[in-house]
Amino acid sequence: MKKGRNQEMDRDAVKLAPSILAADFARLGEQVAEAEKAGADRIHIDVMDGHFVPNLSMGVPIVESLRRVTHLPLETHLMISDPDLFLDDFSKAGSDSFLVHWEGNNNLHRTVQRIKALGKLGGVAINPATPASVLEEILPDVDQVLVMTVNPGFGNQHFIHTTLPKIRRVRQMIEQFKPGCDLEVDGGIDPKTAPLTVHAGANVLVAGSAIFSVHDGIAAAMKRLRDSANQKRTEKTRNSKSEIHNQSK
């Protein structure tokens, strides 16, 4: 009985994906271990090529090194012009899932099929100006959707509030076409914005600065984020249960 309730809570719990873009690279292994100990669900790795986005970040060797020091799933967010060129290498290095952008990919279905052929999980990311509707045909083929809540390319930017109605629409589409698909949000996620996104339907939060650039440590930061997000989730579950209850009266 108790176990069943815990399992239900686990299913409902919001997942945290610390983005190492904001980590101290001189202490990367240590910081990832700290995040793992504090209950991170996956590690988010931002790959940028200075072309798809106006910034450079990290590549395959980082995944290779992290694979040796953590058991957590490594999620690779490819902000690069030709993701197909690098899937094999990242996959061999130890990536467990890939997030590829809808923008600029003329053969997204092929990219997603390649990810699946490698035995990895695949997700599609959409930028703030891209409508939810572009996901409709690809949704049945993916395991994750990433709604960018800032324009990709940099950490520590302000959350774009106009993405909230889109998160709501994506949640509806997921319930309709691919129940069980993760809905992640990425960019400007902190204890203030996290609950808004969870209320709109997100169940995975990517956070960089709100986890790694804080004064009181990674564990405290993750707890703050989790508490703010799960509080909203509990309220939401309670409200929807009472709505169902009222409707059935």
Binding site for ligand DX5 (CB under 6 A): 19, 21-22, 44, 46, 77, 150, 152-157, 186-189, 206-210
Q: Which of 41, 143, 182, 186 is the catalytic position?
A: 186
| Bridge pairing between strands 97-101 and 43-48 | unpaired
From the list ligand DX5, Zn ion, none, which binds 157 (C-beta under 5 to 8 Å, kind-based)?
A: ligand DX5
Q: Which of 10, 12, 46, 89 is the catalytic position?
A: 46
| Catalytic residue check, 46 | yes
Residue 186 interacts with Zn ion (CB under 5 A): yes or no: yes
The candidate with the shortest Cα–Cα distance to 184, out of 143, 151, 220, is 143
Please pick, from the candidates 34, 46, 75, 184, the single residue that binds Zn ion as defined by CB under 5 A.
Answer: 46
- CB 187, min distance to ligand DX5, A: 5
In angstroms, the CA 12 to CA 5 distance is 11
Residue 101 interacts with Zn ion (CB under 5 A): yes or no: no
Nearest to ligand DX5 by Cβ — which residue?
208
Please pick, from the candidates 18, 35, 43, 77, the single residue that binds Zn ion as defined by CB under 5 A.
Answer: 77
- CB 232, min distance to ligand DX5, A: 18
| Catalytic residue check, 141 | no
- CB 65, min distance to ligand DX5, A: 18
| Only segment of 31-39, 178-186, 189-197, 233-241 that touches Zn ion (CB under 5 A) | 178-186
Nearer residue to Zn ion within complex by CB, 209 or 237: 209
Residue 75 interacts with Zn ion (CB under 5 A): yes or no: no
| Only segment of 1-9, 52-60, 71-79, 174-182 that touches Zn ion (CB under 5 A) | 71-79
Nearer residue to Zn ion within complex by CB, 20 or 135: 20
Q: In what order do the strands lie in the sheet containing 43-48? A: 15-18, 204-207, 182-186, 144-148, 121-126, 97-101, 74-79, 43-48
Q: Which residues are catalytic?
A: 46, 186
Residues binding Zn ion (CB under 5 A): 46, 77, 186
